[in-house]
């Protein structure tokens, strides 16, 4: 009887770790940039959540805003 009780107690003690949450280091999941921002400053001209649309928008914005050689006469 004592053996059985001690076996059960030991099993319970051994299995308690199974219910614990992992304590691994690491960052929280970050949302992708193309999923958009939760504010009213989002630039128009692209669709939030559409990666291709976001990329094309940034590419066009970069070319227009930074490539002055393409605009010079």
Partner 1 sequence: MARMKFICDAERCIECNGCVTACKNEHEVPWGVNRRRVVTLNDGVPGEKSISVACMHCSDAPCMAVCPVNCFYKTDEGVVLHDKDICIGCGYCSYACPFGAPQFPSQGTFGVRGKMDKCTFCAGGPETNGSQAEFEKYGRNRLAEGKLPACAEMCSTKALLAGDGDMVADIFRNRVVKRNKGAEVWGWGTAYGSKQAGQAPAKVEGVKK
End-to-end CA, the chain: 97
**Only segment of 3-11, 13-21, 38-46 that touches partner 1 (CB under 8 A):** 38-46
Given 10, 11, 49, 55, the residue binding partner 1 (CB under 8 A): 55
Residues whose CB is less than 8 angstroms from the CB of residue 49 and which lie 6 or more positions away in sequence, other chains included: 34, 35, 36
Of residues 34, 65, 38, the one with CA closest to residue 52: 34
Q: Does 20 bind partner 1 (CB under 8 A)?
A: no
Site residues for partner 1 per CB under 8 A = 25-39, 41-43, 45-46, 54-55, 57-59, 61-63, 65-69
């Amino acid at each position: 009887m004592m053996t059985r009780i001690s076996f059960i107690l030991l099993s319970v003690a051994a299995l308690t770790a199974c219910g614990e949450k992992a304590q691994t280091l690491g960052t929280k999941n970050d949302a992708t940039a193309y999923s958009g921002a939760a504010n009213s400053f989002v630039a128009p001209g692209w669709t939030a959540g559409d990666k291709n649309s976001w990329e094309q928008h940034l590419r066009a914005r970069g070319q227009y805003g930074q490539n002055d050689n393409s605009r010079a006469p």
